[in-house]
């Protein structure tokens, strides 16, 4: 992961990306389960990227 201007992109395998997606959006994950550094998370309109926002950086998770 390279932090450029407060943003970074992390590339995950399709399987890993879907595990993260299911955990965040389909399993009723509560705030207590996630690291407190994650302030918010969202998916893009095409379901191709997950964004995790922290105080210092926006991390984009994309499939390879």
pLDDT of residue 17: 95
Report yes or no: 11 and 2 within 8 Å, Cβ to Cβ. no
Residue 30 tokens, joined: 């509560």
Residues with Cβ within 8 Å of 33's Cβ and at least 6 positions away in sequence, in order, are none
Q: Which residue has the higher pLDDT, 47 or 43?
A: 43
Report yes or no: 57 and 7 within 8 Å, Cβ to Cβ. yes
Confidence of residue 5 (pLDDT cuts 50, 70, 90): confident
User: Which pLDDT tens digit goes with each residue over 6-42?
Assistant: 999 999 999 999 999 998 888 877 667 888 899 999 9
Tell me if the pTM is above 0.85.
no
- C-alpha 7/C-alpha 29 separation (Å) is 24
Other C-beta atoms lying within 10 Å of the C-beta of residue 5: 7
């Amino acid at each position: 992961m390279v932090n450029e201007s407060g943003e970074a992109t992390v590339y995950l395998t399709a399987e890993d990306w879907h595990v993260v997606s299911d955990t965040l959006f389909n399993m009723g994950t509560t705030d207590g389960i996630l690291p407190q550094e994650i302030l918010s998370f969202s998916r893009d309109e095409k379901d191709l990227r997950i964004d995790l926002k922290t105080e210092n950086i926006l991390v984009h998770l994309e499939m390879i």
